[in-house]
Structure 1
């Protein structure tokens, strides 16, 4: 079973940061609960397949050389964690945000993405 810190890292790098669709799909199956609820400024998405489709669409709109990177420490609680990230170069990111996850039985059951203005 992965720790909350490992789940946060896998979510950022092996899901949102992964350009290989098969590898990304396998990781989604490994770290997300079947009924994951993902909330971001665009709304609420429920279930692995719908979240995967949302991520596919996001990555299709971002040039391959633009990547997600950690942008601060990981924050941990008993069943939650948070990780700040940036999209693009450190000195001029396209977007910045924080992912807050809730974990149960070693899988992400909910994720909220907050974007910096």
Structure 2
């Protein structure tokens, strides 16, 4: 069973940072519960298809050189975790945020993204 730290890394890099749609979908089905709730400043959505649509829209709308990177240390507990990140060209991020996860049965059941203002 993956740890919250492993889930945080996979969420950032294998899902939201992955431009390969088939590999991204495999990661989604592996690391999230099928009823995952994802909340960002725009909305709250539920399920694998909704997470896939959010990741695809973000990546499809961003220049090819934009990437996600860890931004500091992760914080974890038995069933929760938090990881700060940046998004943009390497070394010149245009966005910063933090992902907060709740884990159930070894998968992310809730993902909340907060953005730096």
- TM-score calculated relative to the size of structure 2: 0.96
Q: Confirm or deny that 1:105 pairs with 2:105.
A: yes
Does residue 79 of structure 2 align to residue 79 of structure 1?
A: yes
Runs of 4+ in structure 1 displaced over 2 angstroms? Answer: 89-92
After TM superposition, give the deviation of residue 37 of structure 1 in Å. Answer: 0.2
Shift, 1:92, TM fit:
2.9
Where does 1:23-102 land on structure 2 (aligned, <5 Å)?
Answer: 23-89=23-89, 91-102=91-102
Unaligned runs of 5+ in 2: none
Pairwise CA RMSD:
1.0
How many aligned residue pairs are there?
117
Distance (whole Å) between structure 1 residues aligned to residue 25 and residue 37 of structure 2: 17
Cα gap change, 1:56/1:90 in structure 2, threshold over 3 Å: closer, same or farther? closer
Instruction: Give secondary structure in 2 for the equivalent of 1:73.
Output: coil
CA deviation digits over 1:54-95, x for unaligned, max 9? 111111001111100000101011210000000024643110
Query: Post-superposition shift, 1:10?
Result: 0.4
In the alignment, the residues of structure 2 paired with residue 6 and residue 91 of structure 1 have an alpha-carbon distance, to the nearest angstrom, of: 24
Contact in 1 for aligned 2:67/2:90 (Cα 8 Å):
no
Long gaps (5+) in structure 1 = none
Q: Determine the C-alpha separation between the residues in 1 that align with 2:111 and 2:35.
A: 11
